[in-house]
Structure 1
């Protein structure tokens, strides 16, 4: 995510052919210094690009995209590409995908897994693409004021693509979503903040909060070491930029690798603070669990009706990348054929689920959602579940951690073979006589017993980086217990006790 844009600074990269007004003739020494400074900024930006992006990847062309050239006035001079599955229902949902720096639409389509999910679940994907003429490193200009305000620049171009998707492809304007990586993730924040009337939900992958920066220097600081503001301060930056909006804010999923050196994991916490504050929610998660094959830490922040308004997914052992899981399994997707796509968990699968585009869509037609789901018995390796019957149901499908794991003919189910001390999130859907699943129930989280306590002694900074704690307002909080551990820095240390898995308490001098 190289922030340096230079639009309006270095003339060859400006969108407009008109030259900026000339400065008054400088004194010789001042002119020399200005020239040297301009060259130095360019050299630093190019060096940063080489360090963070790495070698240019080999282009792929596996996914067939259609380029659209007449979607609107296009003030941001972006390219629009569409992926349309062979079997596309009438009035489909549409997902906008925004690539990272040094990438393009084709690369993002070939590796992100989104077209695979579109084939499975029948939705349209629009890949917005920026170019060298906009930014020397092909980054979306996520911090340039002229591109991140409603009705201006790149943000306005993406908005016009959304309108075109509805008029030209029959897309459902009420099911329009956006996601992106890195600079594309930061631009996702822009679209959610500036067009909450267009995008119902979004997923920010390795991105940043809206309004974090307005120039190159500030952008670098936002990326690393990060900027720590209060939730109210972050929310105010969105409201001040979009003062006319009084309606509901979009739902937001946040994805971040815990080893990301480019956009540090602190940004996941700041994004959470921004969007929970906009939704009027606490920064303490309603539910926590683990998902996927790599035990990604999954935090849910629920609204009054128990719907998830904000979620945070902290992906272990990956850097600055879109998490993918190549394969043909129900939770697998994507490719590691180029940089910034790392084998881990298929984030696009879970993002599609968060958007409601798979079989867990709470708004789809079918039998109503079961109520009363609760754990009725727990051992070291099993969880017993029960729920209320649904009229007309011929059976039920049980979901664990976002994926179906079995069926039940009655209103009870026993999940077996679990690890001691592990936490799992369950939901249930009723099936009709044709086997079609209905709406998914609210989730419930259960932890098995029998875990042996594990103790960790480290600085608050290290605890946060390892996913054992979170930070908010400059302070550190133990995950699970939410105990205040003091300032978020590397000079304050604590011992944390983990029991059960994913639940940490302060145990200085007492952990055994």
Structure 2
């Protein structure tokens, strides 16, 4: 078992690669003032030229040791925004808040809707939404690692703000309140059971629906934030979405996607399991969106493109394979809708095995 000091050292080794003089074209600009900023964060934006009124907004949260610009260069979000006409907001951590540039997803003063970093991000969103005439019904959020955990914080505390969220190698909401607890949860130790996870989510706001659709991305060989956390995030959101217990499974770009549909037939929850991938954001360098680097992993699948498609930001057709039936489908991408029947057999065993490993099921 790694010590806390060892993990911090490992996370900090690549910090110099994302210093004040990046070796790439910085496509982001400062947002400027955005309110009281109780969480003392910074804000970067990318607004495509000729942005149309009522455009969507994507909020992107970087991981530890990264900056907003470095994460944008690796993930390709601003280039996708240029091609498809949506705005992108990049909250950025400061070293005075966290020496490793991690969003403080475990600090009680930063994960409440009207406090700290969460409140600052809300203020950024309100500023961008008003200034650029954003469609308030099409605001989305995503993030990696600590940024993924903070994206989950925002989805839990302000679900009314978001149509959807994508959590990459992140953690469930409010399961840690100290640094030692945070590292334990990253390793999969001490995660609450399903009832506890869902109670934490319901206590985060007074919201009673509709709820944002949730997409979870996880490398199967991630030893920094272990896969048990991805399962716990799904369990945390499964209650409010009232999804079918039996999911459907499909193969996408040599990886696996598991889908839970709500009563209306829409895809409410989805889990991407990236076979053999470690800790980072999956990209496809050949797509033209994103560049491989530290924690930006060329896994042959562009999470940026797939996430944007699931949110209806990109209109395209994809060939998919239902792993339960073996049949292939050509489906127009739309916002969290699925034509696939519920899965059977093997996938249920896979989910139950993961739940048991996480201590969420006996």
TM-score by length of 2: 0.88
Deviation at 1:475, TM superposition (A): 3.1
Return the match for 2:340 from 444, 447, 459: 444
Equivalent residue number for residue 69 of structure 1: 32
Equivalent residue number for residue 304 of structure 1: 263
Return the match for 1:427 from 319, 331, 353: 331
Q: 1:468 to 1:296 in 2, by over 3 A?
A: farther
Q: 1:75 to 1:445 in 2, by over 3 A?
A: same
Q: 1:487 to 1:81 in 2, by over 3 A?
A: closer
> SS state of the match for residue 178, structure 1?
strand
The aligned length equals 352
Q: Does 2:339 match 1:401?
A: no
Deviation at 1:422, TM superposition (A): 4.4
- Structure 1: which 5+ residue stretches go unaligned? 3-43, 361-397, 403-417, 430-437, 448-462, 478-485, 489-512
Q: 1:227 to 1:297 in 2, by over 3 A?
A: farther
Equivalent residue number for residue 55 of structure 2: 92
Deviation at 1:175, TM superposition (A): 0.6
Residues 15-38 of structure 1 show CA distances to partners (whole Å, capped at 9, x for unaligned) of xxxxxxxxxxxxxxxxxxxxxxxx
> SS state of the match for residue 252, structure 1?
strand
Return the match for 1:108 from 64, 71, 92: 71
| CA RMSD, 1 decimal | 3.1
Return the match for 2:230 from 261, 265, 268: 268
Residues 205-242 of structure 1 show CA distances to partners (whole Å, capped at 9, x for unaligned) of 00000011111121111000344433332110111232
Q: Does 2:11 match 1:48?
A: no
Question: In 1, Cα distance between the equivalents of 2:270 and 2:236?
Answer: 12
Deviation at 1:91, TM superposition (A): 1.4
| Contact 1:225 1:264 (8 Å CA) reproduced | yes
| Contact 1:149 1:194 (8 Å CA) reproduced | yes
Return the match for 1:235 from 183, 198, 206: 198
> SS state of the match for residue 318, structure 1?
coil
Q: Does 2:208 match 1:289?
A: no
Deviation at 1:117, TM superposition (A): 1.7
Q: Does 2:181 match 1:181?
A: no
Return the match for 1:250 from 201, 212, 217: 212
> SS state of the match for residue 229, structure 1?
coil
Equivalent residue number for residue 134 of structure 1: 97
Equivalent residue number for residue 509 of structure 1: none
Return the match for 1:316 from 265, 275, 286: 275
| Contact 2:320 2:328 (8 Å CA) reproduced | yes
Q: Does 2:162 match 1:199?
A: yes
Deviation at 1:245, TM superposition (A): 1.8
- Structure 2: which 5+ residue stretches go unaligned? none
Q: Does 2:83 match 1:164?
A: no
Residues 56-108 of structure 1 show CA distances to partners (whole Å, capped at 9, x for unaligned) of 32533324211022111110011111111224222110000000001011101
Question: In 1, Cα distance between the equivalents of 2:168 and 2:118?
Answer: 18
What pairs with 1:306-455 in structure 2 (closer than 5 Å)? 306-328=265-287, 333-336=289-292, 338-344=293-299, 345-359=301-315, 399-401=318-320, 422-428=326-332, 442-444=338-340
Question: In 2, Cα distance between the equivalents of 1:103 and 1:160?
Answer: 22
Residues 250-282 of structure 1 show CA distances to partners (whole Å, capped at 9, x for unaligned) of 110000000000000011111111111121224
Deviation at 1:333, TM superposition (A): 2.2
| Contact 1:224 1:264 (8 Å CA) reproduced | yes
| Contact 1:100 1:180 (8 Å CA) reproduced | yes
Q: 1:441 to 1:173 in 2, by over 3 A?
A: closer
Equivalent residue number for residue 8 of structure 1: none
Q: 1:160 to 1:109 in 2, by over 3 A?
A: same
Equivalent residue number for residue 147 of structure 1: 110
Residues 147-182 of structure 1 show CA distances to partners (whole Å, capped at 9, x for unaligned) of 000110000000001101111111111111100000
Residues 278-308 of structure 1 show CA distances to partners (whole Å, capped at 9, x for unaligned) of 21224431x210112xx11101111122111
By relative contact order (CA 8 Å, sep 6+), the higher-ranking structure is 2
Question: In 2, Cα distance between the equivalents of 1:439 and 1:299?
Answer: 16
| Contact 1:185 1:204 (8 Å CA) reproduced | yes
